[in-house]
Structure 1
């Protein structure tokens, strides 16, 4: 009886199926997806047929593989409207991208990961992309480390005690001691920086977005191709403009204290 009770129902199977579509694997064939999920191909085919009817998935006519459907764009505006920080951030992000020529992205913590909730792409031919929905662990990359650094101490200690720091590139922080030292430096400076910690050829700068009482709401970041990131004058200008944008956005969403908060 227990085994039967623990078996996922049709709705749970459909949710597991949808969660299999990630930026690292955006398209699936039926048999590949069935093997990945541990479901029968017939079950996966049936679920996909139902999801396709409501545009949650669509099928590429050439490859016959499935990908997420366009229905999610209907939810994007609703989700962003529920978070005041995205409304306030939008004009600031557009101006920051125009002034720096770089991609600007807004990030929050979701569980134990960083997730991008809004992005303004660089107008330049050589640019660093950051799609909405992109995820990464909290120990790699400027935006991730910025979020982690300004989290409450209880969360930080729990994360450091439990997270397995897997090297994404040779530049990824490799030990808890090294990461802890970086987090302390970020809190002291008020910003985070990284080069090729998640993706080779990509540099990043990030500042916290703070709300009422200094609580962390997110991280505002610039994604910069390594070629321009290594230009000291450009990097310094980007950091100055980013910090000003971080102060402005934090004030707009209710922060009245020091930025970054004293004693963090």
Structure 2
């Protein structure tokens, strides 16, 4: 009886199926997905048919593989309308992208990861992309480290004690001691920077966004190709504009003290 209770029902199976679609694996064939989930191909086919009817998934006519459907854009609009930081950030992000010529993205902590919740792509041919929904560990990249640095001390200490630092590139932090020192430096400077820590060829700058009471609610960031990141004049200009944007956005979402807080 206990084994039967532990078996996922149809709704749980459908949710597990949808969660299998990730940035690193955006499309699946029926048999591949069945093997990945441990379900029978017939079960996966039946679930996909139902999900397709409501546009949660769609099927490529040529490859016959399934990918997420367009219905999620409706959810995205609802989510963005519910979070003041996203609403307030939109015009600031568009202006910042225009002024710097770089990709601007807004990030929050989701569990133990950085999650991109909004992005404005660079208008230049050579650009660094940051799609909405992109995730990364909190120890790799400027936006991740910025979010972690301005978290409450208890969260930071618990994270450092429990998280295994798996290098994503040769430049990713490899020891808790070095990461702890870098987080302290980020707090002191009020911004984070990184080069090829998460993706080779990509540099990044990030500043915290504070809400009412001085709590960090998000990180506003620039993704910059290494070619332009290595230009000290361009990098300095980008940082100055980013810091001003972070200050303005913080004020718009209720922060009244100094930026960043001491």
TM-score by length of 1: 0.98
User: What is the deviation of 1:260?
Assistant: 1.2
User: What is the deviation of 1:91?
Assistant: 0.6
User: What is the deviation of 1:216?
Assistant: 1.1
SS in 1 for 2:28: coil
User: What is the deviation of 1:76?
Assistant: 1.1
> Does residue 250 of structure 1 match 2:240?
no
The residue number in structure 1 matching 2:44 is: 44
Q: What is the rounded CA distance, in whole Å, between the counterparts of 2:130 and 2:181 in structure 1? A: 27
Q: What is the rounded CA distance, in whole Å, between the counterparts of 1:49 and 1:165 in structure 2? A: 40
Over the aligned positions, Cα root-mean-square deviation in angstroms equals 0.6
> Does residue 69 of structure 1 match 2:50?
no
User: What is the deviation of 1:15?
Assistant: 0.4
User: What is the deviation of 1:77?
Assistant: 0.9
SS in 1 for 2:127: coil
User: What is the deviation of 1:257?
Assistant: 1.0
Matches within 5 A, 1:52-201: 52-201=52-201
Q: What is the rounded CA distance, in whole Å, between the counterparts of 2:72 and 2:99 in structure 1? A: 31
SS in 1 for 2:114: strand
What are the superposed Cα offsets for residues 13-37 of structure 1, whole Å, 9 maximum, x if unpaired? Answer: 1001000101110000111111111
Q: What is the rounded CA distance, in whole Å, between the counterparts of 1:184 and 1:213 in structure 2? A: 21
Runs of 4+ in 1 over 2 A off after TM superposition: none
SS in 1 for 2:224: strand
SS in 2 for 1:209: strand
User: What is the deviation of 1:74?
Assistant: 1.0
What are the superposed Cα offsets for residues 37-63 of structure 1, whole Å, 9 maximum, x if unpaired? Answer: 111111111110100000000000100
Q: What is the rounded CA distance, in whole Å, between the counterparts of 2:37 and 2:260 in structure 1? A: 44
User: What is the deviation of 1:2?
Assistant: 1.3
User: What is the deviation of 1:192?
Assistant: 0.3
Q: What is the rounded CA distance, in whole Å, between the counterparts of 2:4 and 2:158 in structure 1? A: 34
Q: What is the rounded CA distance, in whole Å, between the counterparts of 2:247 and 2:82 in structure 1? A: 22
> Does residue 228 of structure 1 match 2:214?
no
Q: What is the rounded CA distance, in whole Å, between the counterparts of 1:192 and 1:82 in structure 2? A: 28
User: What is the deviation of 1:259?
Assistant: 1.2
Q: What is the rounded CA distance, in whole Å, between the counterparts of 1:36 and 1:142 in structure 2? A: 33
Q: What is the rounded CA distance, in whole Å, between the counterparts of 1:156 and 1:12 in structure 2? A: 33
Runs (5+) with no aligned partner, structure 2:
none
User: What is the deviation of 1:221?
Assistant: 0.1
TM-score by length of 2: 0.99
The residue number in structure 2 matching 1:203 is: 203
